Amino acid sequence: LLNVHEDPLSPPSQRSRAHDTSTELQPMPTSPAMDTAAQDVSLFSSPMAPHLFYPVLQSEVDASSPLMYGTPSSRVEGTPRSGIRGTPARQRADLGSVRKAPQVDMHSEPVSESCCHSEQGAGQRLVIWGTDVNVGTCKEKFQRFLQQFTAPNSREEENAGLDLNEPLYMQKLDEISVVGEPVLNVNCSHIQTFDADLYRQLICYPQEVIPTFDMAVNELFFDRLPDSVLEHQIQVRPYSALKTRNMRALNPEDIDQLITISGMVIRTSQLIPEMQEAFFRCQVCVFNTRVEVDRGRIAEPAVCRNCNTTHSMALVHNRSAFSDKQMIKLQESPEDMPAGQTPHTTVVYAHNDLVDKVQPGDRINITGIYRAAPMRLNPRQSQVKSVYKTHIDVIHFRKTDEKRLHGLDEDGEQKLFTKERVAMLKELAAKPDVYERLSSALAPSIYEHEDIKKGILLQLFGGTRKDFTQTGRGNFRAEINILLCGDPGTSKSQLLQYVYNLVPRGQYTSGKGSSAVGLTAYVMKDPETRQLVLQTGALVLSDNGICCIDEFDKMSDNTRSVLHEVMEQQTLSIAKAGIICQLNARTSVLAAANPVESQWNPKKTTIENIQLPHTLLSRFDLIFLMLDPQDEAYDRRLAHHLVALYYQSEEQIEEEHLDMAVLKDYIAFARTSVHPRLSEEASQALIEAYVDMRKIGSGRGMVSAYPRQLESLIRLAEAHAKVRFSSKVESIDVEEAKRLHREALKQSATDPRTGFVDISILTTGMSATARKRKEEVAQALKKLIQSKGKTPAMKYQQLFDDLRGQSEAAITKDMFDEALRALADEDYLTVTGKTVRLL
């Protein structure tokens, strides 16, 4: 029975499973109508693919065969199954029925004893070999599950548009009949809540239970909708088995069990056609015969059954049946990895329609059966390597990043937290000083800058995402952008590094090193496939995360310009090499900029200090200055803090690390499960705040607030509500948002000449007083020129000196130049070199 190349090696799991003999099944009658299905019979021994045996079950079978599972009632003749009969069954390569043909060991294990357990009096209770699965009960249970299970609280996208109070899966069956895609995805957690025992069986014996499910669902389907026409029989694809979430946690006990792991696709092989059935034709009499692939081998018929010629049968390739198969390499997600180790990889096989469903780079959750097979050293040796090759036969793919195109991956991320953890986080959230606690836990090695830390904390939480596409406004930005500017050496970079390390989808770039392409995306031709591939840059990669940009001021204008779109519309448009698309880049930007003159000049405005276009600056919700306060008390605390940093013991450091983990979880939990909405009271407070802000300026003829500032306030207030795990934005949130916003403005938008906060510094790049002054100078200059009478041309220096002599305020060369430019704009004069001409 053994063959050399691919031994029917049984699963190496510790539980040993006894097997029946396939030879017993040989003389099975074949019904002519059931061409393919019946062909399988000789191959698949009992535990596999029961639906394939369907017609067999109704015929006479050796009663001692383990195929006789099921209660007698399930084998009643005459049930209306015409629908199933008419629909071909498709082999489930994912269940590995072909290669996993069991072995016979007649000597050591008398079949009749261990195969069927006759149980207590009531009747025969048969279970599948080596398991405790009774097909009849299992089928019944599953049908009951399909008919009765409702998930009123389901938030999955798949269930969108379904009536959640009606049995969920019955609606899905209806959907199948409409769409015609004979695949039923079943959430394992649903089964678990419905029937824990069934769930356990599914996890432990997927190879046996899933075909039973198939059988059950097909019966049910064709009972309900006997007239439906499907391509093949419905296949059940369970997903979200809770067994394992992390690749690293896989161990020998998981072999042959249903598992779900998450990871990233790093490589996909080409399509591998796997022969399922070979077609032979006799060269002499043109007699055809089909041979099933048995454990990877084809038994070539030596003699033609029709004409008895020996060695006359030739394989006809294009009439043989193949199934698709693809090898996929999966690497564990970076988030799951312990520090200092390299990621693990796993081999995954996709079969049939799951082939080519994923691309390298995709983040996916896969559900499948974990397999292990021994390796031969050499085909001609009996020695084997004592190592097994492991792989996963995939049953279900679920892309995690695809969903990110539509919204946050709530389902995937929420489950990471245990109940205790959530309880702990909630307890923390209930504390009145949670906001202060969290902000002080943020980058503890950086001293003070409380407000900046608070701002960054709110940025980490983000606002609530709102969709106004229906009203034509598009998405409303929920991300908070922050700019830090200030003296070099005020640990801006350190803060950025910290944030980058804290958030799962963070990116860190330096303005100096990055190009527009590196930030956005570019199109590349794959050298192997000659396919155009879109490679995404830092901004797209940090979708739903934070993009930290250091040395923002060093960035080229070209590069900076791409940020305009990202920071307000949260999208990136690309038109390159025939690819035109818009990518989501819902990223918060945390940028740090140094002043142009290496030292912050308090006499200049923010814009003048960092020389960034105001159009970009106005897209930052908060702009903070990190300056050296130069105050003795501050110095003392700073010194204390720094010295403490250097002599604190290991334990204290350990404690802090714990804090960072809590902070991480806290943020992740709040981001996924808290979606605060404005309360009536908060809305009023916001309106008042905005009106107040506008009032401040209007007294002096300035506009001190724009709608953008209102939006910022709303975002900040929402983020603050998230910090409290509150589903409603209340007035305290608005208060804090106002305070923080004012604080940031006070730092960045104070007009150094007047000492007033002037938002126009940030929105137009110039304070209102400065603009007024500029106009005055221009007018004075004009008057001066007019007073000179009809002189078509003047010396530049002469004019400058005249103006200086005339004006009582000091006039700098810059101001003079600006005035000239203003007049030139009015078409009053032109400046050529050192002469000024009137027009």
Site for other proteins in 644-673 (CB under 8 A): 644-647, 650, 653, 656, 660
Residues in CB range of 273: below 8 A, 6 or more apart: 322, 323, 324, 325
CB closer to other proteins out of 419 and 603: 603
Selected range binding other proteins among 60-68, 147-155, 381-389, 760-768, rule: CB under 8 A: 381-389
The token pair that represents 18 in the structure block: 């006894």
CB closer to other proteins out of 274 and 553: 274
Q: Shortest distance, CB of residue 412 to other proteins, whole angstroms?
A: 17
CB closer to other proteins out of 167 and 518: 518
3 state SS for 72-87 = HHHHCCCCCCHHHHHC
Q: Shortest distance, CB of residue 3 to other proteins, whole angstroms?
A: 10
Residues in CB range of 179: below 8 A, 6 or more apart: none
User: DSSP code of 26?
Assistant: T
Q: Can you tell me which of 29, 123, 226, 334 binds other proteins, judged by CB under 8 A?
A: 334
Beta strand 288-292 with 272-282 is antiparallel
Within 217-256, the residues that bind other proteins by CB under 8 A are 250-252, 255
Per-position b or e across 486-513, b if 16+ CB within 10 A of its CB:
beeebbbbebbbbbbebbeebbbbbbee
Residues in CB range of 169: below 8 A, 6 or more apart: 145, 146, 147, 149, 184, 186
Q: Can you tell me which of 28, 191, 230, 264 binds other proteins, judged by CB under 8 A?
A: 264
Q: Per CB under 8 A, does 529 bind other proteins?
A: no
The token pair that represents 346 in the structure block: 């796993």
Name the nearest CA neighbour of 176 among 146, 198, 202, 138: 146
Q: Shortest distance, CB of residue 169 to other proteins, whole angstroms?
A: 34
Q: Is the dihedral of CA 257, 260, 262, 265 positive or negative?
A: positive
Taking the C-alpha atoms of residue 255 and residue 17, their distance in angstroms, rounded to an integer, is 13
Selected range binding other proteins among 62-70, 76-84, 164-172, 629-637, rule: CB under 8 A: 629-637
Q: Per CB under 8 A, does 534 bind other proteins?
A: no
Within 130-159, the residues that bind other proteins by CB under 8 A are none
Q: Per CB under 8 A, does 273 bind other proteins?
A: no
Q: Per CB under 8 A, does 297 bind other proteins?
A: yes
Within 446-475, the residues that bind other proteins by CB under 8 A are 447
Q: Can you tell me which of 61, 183, 285, 384 binds other proteins, judged by CB under 8 A?
A: 384
Strand-pair partners of 663: none
Q: Per CB under 8 A, does 303 bind other proteins?
A: no
CA distances from 610 to 184, 300, 514 (A): 59, 80, 19
Selected range binding other proteins among 117-125, 398-406, 635-643, 816-824, rule: CB under 8 A: 635-643
Selected range binding other proteins among 208-216, 325-333, 575-583, 678-686, rule: CB under 8 A: 325-333
Q: Per CB under 8 A, does 445 bind other proteins?
A: yes
Identify the burial level of 453 via C-beta atoms within 10 angstroms of its C-beta, where 0-12 means exposed, 13-18 middle and 19 or more buried. buried
Query: How far, rounded to the nearest angstrom, does the alpha carbon of residue 552 sit from its chain's CA centroid?
Result: 28
Other CB atoms within a 10 A radius of the CB of residue 597 amount to: 12
Angle at the Cα of 584 from the Cα atoms of 578 and 587, rounded to 5 degrees = 135
Q: Per CB under 8 A, does 389 bind other proteins?
A: yes
Q: At what angle do helices 768-787 and 796-806 cross, to 10 degrees?
A: 110
Selected range binding other proteins among 20-28, 172-180, 327-335, 419-427, rule: CB under 8 A: 327-335
Q: Can you tell me which of 174, 628, 735, 818 binds other proteins, judged by CB under 8 A?
A: 628
CB closer to other proteins out of 135 and 291: 291
Strand-pair partners of 288: 281
> Reduced to 3 states, what is the DSSP secondary structure of residue 474?
strand
Q: Can you tell me which of 266, 321, 408, 696 binds other proteins, judged by CB under 8 A?
A: 266
Q: Can you tell me which of 106, 302, 387, 580 binds other proteins, judged by CB under 8 A?
A: 387
Selected range binding other proteins among 11-19, 236-244, 316-324, 795-803, rule: CB under 8 A: 11-19
CB closer to other proteins out of 328 and 820: 328
CB closer to other proteins out of 423 and 645: 645
Selected range binding other proteins among 38-46, 60-68, 218-226, 328-336, rule: CB under 8 A: 328-336
User: DSSP code of 601?
Assistant: -
Selected range binding other proteins among 20-28, 38-46, 172-180, 322-330, rule: CB under 8 A: 322-330
Selected range binding other proteins among 174-182, 305-313, 417-425, 643-651, rule: CB under 8 A: 643-651
Within 707-766, the residues that bind other proteins by CB under 8 A are none
How many residues of this chain interact with other proteins, rule: CB under 8 A? 93
Q: Can you tell me which of 29, 80, 407, 513 binds other proteins, judged by CB under 8 A?
A: 513
Q: Which residue's entry shows tokens 């015609």? A: 180
Q: Can you tell me which of 117, 155, 267, 473 binds other proteins, judged by CB under 8 A?
A: 267
Q: Per CB under 8 A, does 598 bind other proteins?
A: no
User: DSSP code of 757?
Assistant: B
Taking the C-alpha atoms of residue 617 and residue 605, their distance in angstroms, rounded to an integer, is 13
Name the nearest CA neighbour of 578 among 643, 525, 616, 512: 525
CB closer to other proteins out of 551 and 751: 551
Q: Shortest distance, CB of residue 389 to other proteins, whole angstroms?
A: 6
Q: Per CB under 8 A, does 539 bind other proteins?
A: no
Q: Can you tell me which of 356, 427, 635, 801 binds other proteins, judged by CB under 8 A?
A: 635
Within 52-111, the residues that bind other proteins by CB under 8 A are 99, 103, 105
Residue 838 backbone phi and psi in degrees, to 5: -85, 150
> Reduced to 3 states, what is the DSSP secondary structure of residue 688?
helix
CB closer to other proteins out of 348 and 617: 348
Q: Can you tell me which of 87, 187, 323, 346 binds other proteins, judged by CB under 8 A?
A: 346
3 state SS for 425-455 = HHHHHHCCCHHHHHHHHCCCCCCCCHHHHHH
Within 472-501, the residues that bind other proteins by CB under 8 A are 489-491, 493-494, 497-498, 501
| Pair 481, 498: CB distance under 8 Å | no
Q: Can you tell me which of 30, 36, 224, 388 binds other proteins, judged by CB under 8 A?
A: 388
CB closer to other proteins out of 655 and 681: 655
Taking the C-alpha atoms of residue 347 and residue 349, their distance in angstroms, rounded to an integer, is 7
